Structure 1
Amino acid sequence: MNLPPLIQAFVLHFGEMGSRWGINRTVGQIYALLFVADRALNADEITEKLGVSRSNVSMGLKELQAWRLVRLEHRPGDRREYFSAPEDVWTIFKTLAEERQRREVEPTLSMLRDALLVSPDSAEERHAQARMREMYALMEQMTEWFAEIRKLSPETLARLMALGAKVQKLLEMKDKLRLVPPPPEEVA
């Protein structure tokens, strides 16, 4: 690798993490490099900096484009394509979540919907279908929640996350307030 030590450590880590996230090491390294780069890079620059083959870089860039995680730029008078990662980390997070939703959650929900329409033939199938119904309900609820979260601005998301456990305390306080009877003068 032809990178300064700090950047190399980050790129290598993302390469290792990539395999845990279901992408290959080179794709993780390419993304990490584009994320920390101070400018858009072309495939030849990425190849040189990472010390990997040009074909690996091309395939990795195509995969990152399919995930909508890199932007493609063309420059006047230059036939090469330049790539960069979105600047806003919230945009990256939302894009990743949307792609995982599309690639993993939606097909599973579809399969579960189909399975719930089947008439079970045995106690074993009725049990399995009941468990599938529970999974479907949770995944559907999470999907609805995620749709609402996606509508929030990055600033609101950051404030919501900063609340942390305070949200739980607020909900507990709301539940306690519901248990308190209204004052006598309000009772009609």
Structure 2
Amino acid sequence: MKIPPLQQEFVLHFGEMGSRWGINRTVGQIYALLFLSADALNADQITEALGISRSNASMGLKELQAWRLVRLKHVPGDRKDHFTTPDDLWEIVRILIEERKKREIDPTLTKLRALEMQGPAGDDYSEARISELREMIEMMTGFYEDMARLETEKLVRLMTYGSRIAGLIDKVGGVFPSKNR
């Protein structure tokens, strides 16, 4: 299976970016290949297209399935498992944000809450900073949860309003909660 030049460039870029996003190069390339593929691909096709080992392809597919970014698709008349990505770009973005929140934000929030529960440690400044950080993360996750509940159409509309909303907040005299130090 030969990858056309446009796809090849995209796949290579995703591989390079993978390490910056916290995944390895091969996983990024597998995802990019599946993302651009009109048809679901099996592990042998992925292995051939990317020039990687079968075990590397299998491990990458398992990681992408754990992230819910690829889906198993059965092809009539073929006993092999085939894989594809969701068609809806907004669904992909929502999955990525949700999974990153689950893996990165939630454990940090849990730790901050646990530190606060330990009670006074005699370090007022550190305690205040931990509390301030927890409050900010809770506010951000609350905003995320509000946005996650919106239908895609409404979310897109909201995003297109962007700076106009900020201007409206300024006009109405909106004040964001903050703590002065």
TM-score, length of structure 1 as denominator length: 0.89
Whole-Å Cα distance in 2 between the matches of residues 75 and 12 of structure 1? Answer: 27
Q: Which moved more, 1:88-97 or 1:156-165?
A: 156-165
Q: How many Å separate the matches in 1 of 2:54 and 2:48? A: 9
CA distance in 1, matches of 2:76, 2:154: 38
SS, match of residue 73 in structure 1:
strand
Q: CA deviation at 1:69?
A: 0.4
- Structure 1 residues 54, 140: closer, same or farther in 2, change over 3 A? same
| Unaligned runs of at least 5 residues, structure 1 | 177-188
Q: Which residue of 1 aligns with 2:124?
A: 126
List 4+ stretches of structure 1 deviating above 3 A. none
Q: Is the 8 A contact 1:2 1:51 kept in 2?
A: no
Aligned AA for 1:134?
E
Q: Deviations over 1:32-87 (max 9, x none)?
A: 01111001000000011111111110000000000000110123442210100000
Residue aligning to 2:45: 45
Structure 1 residue 160 displacement after superposition: 1.1
Moved more, 71-80 or 152-161: 71-80
Instruction: Report Cα offsets for 1:129-181 as digits up to 9, x if no partner.
Output: 111111100100011111110011111111111112111111112228xxxxx
How many residue pairs match? The answer is: 174
Q: How many angstroms does 1:90 deviate by?
A: 0.3
Aligned Cα root-mean-square deviation (Å): 1.4
User: Is 75-84 or 143-152 further displaced after alignment?
Assistant: 75-84
- 1:68-107 mapped onto 2 (5 Å cutoff): 68-107=68-107
Aligned equivalent of 1:144: 142
Look up the SS of the partner of 1:104 in the other structure: helix
Structure 2: 5+ residue runs without aligned partners?
Answer: 175-181
Report the 3-state secondary structure (helix = DSSP H, G, I; strand = E; otherwise coil) of the residue aligned with 2:80.
Answer: strand
Looking at structure 2, the residues matched to 61 and 121 of structure 1 have their Cα atoms a distance apart, in angstroms, of: 46
Q: Which has the larger radius of gyration?
A: 1
- Mean Cα displacement is larger for which, 152-161 or 139-148? 152-161
Conserved 8 A contact 1:34-1:83: yes
